[in-house]
């Protein structure tokens, strides 16, 4: 009988799908928080208010939500984003979903944390257009209804600071994670969670080498110390028509941050999760379909001409990376003094 059980168990293990390989990991149900900014319900609520508040932009029209729409893919469904006064930026809005799992933020990894990232757009002239972060803080202070919330979360005489606002926004963003996709359920043992084609696509992704970079639970690279982005050159192989057709080398990427030639066209590796919601693709939003994105990545990063079947299989698998978006209640924003915006 013991032998029988041992035999059965060994059979189960032998017949287990490839998902049991260590490379395939499910997304955790919670995102880690830094020691100096623990996630609390009150902080998340305040952060949600700030995240949705367009009054943090110069003319009151642009909020975090504008370009990172959490009712959809956490981006803005545009090739590149539009900030105050109708100004278009140069890059595609990265999704906020699961950004909490990244070791650095922005396409070029120039912000170490979600807290740092939140301090970028407010004073960017073509994003939220405030003259400075001090002006942003003054704007928040001019809305009396915010003070009780900041006081309750952060205490102190001067609870409304940019650092605290950024901490609250980051705390909210750490709740924006999408576990339990079909892929996650499959990894956790539900062998019915993926279709045969999706399993083939998953294998193809590994065989071609995509998962060398798009690795780990968030398919965005290995765990790295906070602030150290997982960077790769894109395109790695530039001897193909895609580079010109999609203007893939027009933006120097990381070199804009470090100003060192070796950083030219380096980019933070993006997550593969929820891609069904985040078209168009690439740092410049130039690629309209997931089929094209997969084909282009195979060629430019691996010098592989993926077959139609391989592309279809991988796209099918990527569809299995759409997770459960948490239900969210709308925040209530405090009233506006009539002299806030002219």
Comparison of 237 and 325: residue with beta carbon closer to a copy of itself: 325
Binding range to a copy of itself, per CB under 8 A, among 220-228, 229-237, 287-295, 309-317: 287-295
Q: How many chain residues interact with a copy of itself (CB under 8 A)?
A: 47
Examine the residue annotation and report whether 260 is marked as an active-site residue of this protein.
no
Please answer whether residues 191 and 24 qualify as being in contact, where contact means their C-beta atoms are separated by less than 8 angstroms: no
Choose, from 30, 42, 115, 127, the residue flagged as catalytic: 127
Can you read off the two tokens belonging to residue 134? 């001090």
Based on the shown chain and the rule CB under 8 A, indicate whether residue 328 belongs to the binding site for a copy of itself. yes
- Per rule CB under 8 A, is residue 288 in the interface with a copy of itself? yes
Nearer to a copy of itself, 141 or 233 (CB): 141
For 25: left if phi > 0, alpha if psi spans -120 to 50, otherwise beta; the answer is beta
Q: Is 333 in the site for a copy of itself (CB under 8 A)?
A: yes
Torsion of CA 45, 332, 68, 202, to 10 degrees: 60
**Contact stretch for a copy of itself (CB under 8 A) within 58-66, 200-208, 231-239, 303-311:** 58-66
Provide φ and ψ at 232, rounded to 5°. -140, 155
User: In this structure, are residues 278 and 321 in contact, taking their beta carbons and an 8 Å threshold?
Assistant: no
Q: Residue 125 and residue 235: Cα distance in Å, rounded?
A: 29
Q: Which stretch binds a copy of itself (CB under 8 A): 33-41, 225-233, 264-272, 275-283?
A: 275-283
Residues 82-141 that bind a copy of itself (CB under 8 A): 82, 84-87
Considering only residues 24 to 53 of the shown chain, the ones binding a copy of itself according to CB under 8 A are: 52
Piece in contact with a copy of itself (CB under 8 A), picked from 76-84, 103-111, 181-189, 236-244: 76-84
Pair of tokens at residue 293 = 């994105």
Exactly one of 39, 66, 113, 271 binds a copy of itself (CB under 8 A); which one? 66
Distance (Å, rounded) from C-alpha 210 to C-alpha 27? 18
Output the CA torsion sign for 198, 282, 109, 113: negative
d(CA 64, CA 55) in angstroms, rounded, equals: 11
Question: Which of 304, 297, 229 has the alpha carbon at shortest distance from 269?
Answer: 229
Q: Are 54 and 239 in contact (CB under 8 A)?
A: no
Would you count residue 331 as binding a copy of itself (CB under 8 A)?
A: yes
Closest to a copy of itself by CB, 37 vs 270, is: 270
Backbone angles phi, psi at 287, to 5 degrees: -110, 120
Give min distance, CB of 272 to a copy of itself, in A: 15
CA 242 to chain centre: 24
Q: How far is the CB of 3 from a copy of itself (least distance, A)?
A: 51
Near a copy of itself by CB under 8 A: residue from 47, 281, 284, 321: 281
Q: What is the DSSP letter of 276?
A: G
* Binding to a copy of itself in span 289-318, by CB under 8 A: 289-290
Residues noted as catalytic: 127
Can you give the binding site for a copy of itself, defined by CB under 8 A? 52, 54-55, 59-61, 66, 69-73, 76-79, 82, 84-87, 276-277, 279-281, 287-290, 325, 327-342
């Amino acid at each position: 009988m013991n032998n029988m059980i041992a035999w059965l168990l060994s059979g189960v293990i032998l017949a287990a799908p490839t998902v049991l390989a260590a490379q395939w990991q499910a997304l955790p149900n919670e995102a880690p928080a830094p020691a100096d900014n623990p996630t609390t319900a009150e902080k998340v609520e305040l952060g949600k208010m700030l995240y949705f508040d367009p009054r943090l932009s110069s003319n009151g029209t642009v909020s975090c939500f504008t370009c990172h729409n959490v009712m959809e893919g956490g981006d803005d469904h545009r090739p590149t984003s539009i900030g105050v006064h109708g100004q278009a930026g140069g890059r595609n809005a990265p999704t906020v979903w699961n950004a909490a799992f990244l070791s650095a933020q922005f396409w070029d990894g120039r912000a170490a944390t979600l807290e740092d990232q939140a301090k970028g757009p407010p004073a960017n002239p073509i994003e939220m257009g405030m003259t400075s972060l001090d002006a942003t803080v003054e704007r928040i202070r001019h809305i009396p209804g915010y003070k009780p919330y900041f006081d309750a979360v952060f205490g102190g005489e001067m609870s409304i600071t940019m650092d605290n606002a950024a901490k609250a926004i980051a705390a909210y963003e750490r709740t924006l994670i999408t576990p339990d996709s079909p892929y996650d359920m499959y990894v956790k043992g539900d062998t019915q969670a993926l279709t045969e084609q999706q399993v083939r696509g998953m294998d193809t992704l590994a065989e071609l080498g995509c998962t060398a970079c798009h690795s780990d639970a968030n398919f965005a690279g290995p765990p790295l110390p906070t602030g150290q982005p997982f960077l790769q050159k894109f395109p790695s192989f530039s001897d193909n028509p895609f580079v010109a057709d999609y203007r893939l080398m027009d933006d120097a990427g990381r070199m804009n941050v470090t100003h060192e030639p070796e950083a030219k066209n380096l980019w933070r590796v993006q997550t593969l999760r929820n891609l069904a919601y985040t078209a168009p693709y690439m740092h410049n939003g130039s690629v309209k379909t997931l089929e094209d994105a997969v084909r282009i990545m195979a060629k430019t990063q691996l010098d592989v001409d993926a077959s139609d079947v391989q592309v279809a299989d991988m796209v099918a698998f990527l569809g299995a990376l759409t997770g459960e978006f948490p239900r969210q209640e709308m925040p209530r924003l405090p009233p506006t003094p009539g002299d806030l915006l002219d």
